Amino acid sequence: MIQLESRLFDALDTLDGLHTALQQAIMLEHATIPAYLYALYSLQPDTNARIENLIFSVVREEMLHMSLACNILNAIGGAPSIDDPAFIPHYPGPLPGAVEKGLIVPLKPCTLDVVHDVFMQIEEPEKPLEFPVGLAAAAAPPRTIGQFYKAIERQIVAFGQGIFTGDPARQLTHGFAPDELIAVTDVASAVRAITIIVEQGEGTSDSPLDLEHELAHYYRFAEIWHGKALIPNPQAPPDAPNDQKYIYGGPAIPFDPHGVWPAIANPKAAMYPAGSKARYACDTFNYTYTALLKTLHLTFNGQPYRLSAAIGLMESLKAQAMDLMAIDLGNGTHAGPSFEYQPINP
């Protein structure tokens, strides 16, 4: 479970503090994406297809959550800051706003340990439902990501409609399903946006499902860890406790470690020799990644029509990352993208 710094909660009683908290939320949502993508891109073509689909579904919704947080910030008169080297976290390291002695998030190829020790920890709710595996049947301060959003929600409700002074034209509502990426214009729509973010990530206190009746992120990663789909427990009586209503007993989700590129962990562009194929490919990836951040910055700062260009850059990133992962470094490892700020075309 990620533990967030107390300072993020302490400054919510002012509008400026609320702006700062939402910018922190945007950074936090983005910071998970490179770690998830690194694992996703490390899966070789035509292998681990079910796991690839599960990780990609989480990445897509993290992008949605980042977009919703931007809509909320715009709605209350703020402005998202995305085109900034400081927007990108350092890997390995804590996520933005997290306690530094807590979870350290790396860029690593996909393994069951990475899924369990990092991804499930990122998405873990305050009180996860621990379902049984097969057919057989810790206390922490309130500083989870879900509780951070709920604290933001409470303060928005307390401030009331008067803080919604943002230009409605800055709201982004396309690129996802209409009932997912919603326009935020008042207290009710802000609460709805936060509910989508929290329940897609953590589920609810009595169910692993989100508002769309799909598994929350924590339980999708748990499916990978347990190697089985989470399904309704066919042996559970109607009055079964919540943690007995589902079971990791559905179709197998096998993990084939031989279908993963042996990419190096936590790469930096400077690690690759100047003039090498890997260095050129990494610089090109980082330039495209930076172009994506710049385009998203414009998208969420009054130019929502640029989303189509951002989607095109995302597709380019995928192809460039997969090419990088296929580069053999000659020592039993392969290259990988470093997700660094690179504004100059190499």
**pLDDT tens digit sequence for 231-269:** 999 988 988 888 899 999 999 999 999 999 999 999 999
**What is the average pLDDT value for the chain, to the nearest integer?**
91
The upper half-sphere exposure of residue 37, i.e. CA atoms within 13 Å in the direction of its Cβ, equals: 23
**pLDDT tens digit sequence for 275-302:** 999 999 999 999 999 999 999 999 999 9
pLDDT at 145: 84
CA-based R_g, the chain, Å: 20
Q: Are 281 and 263 in contact (CB under 8 A)?
A: no
137 has a pLDDT exceeding 60? no
d(CA 257, CA 224): 13
SS3 256: coil
CB under 8 Å, gap of 24 or more: what pairs does 112-120 form? 112/224, 112/225, 112/255, 114/39, 115/39, 115/221, 115/224, 115/225, 116/221, 116/225, 118/35, 119/35, 119/36, 119/39, 119/58, 119/221, 120/218, 120/221, 120/222, 120/225
Q: Token match 């347990």: residue?
A: 226
d(CA 255, CA 227): 7
Q: What is the largest CA-CA distance in the chain?
A: 66
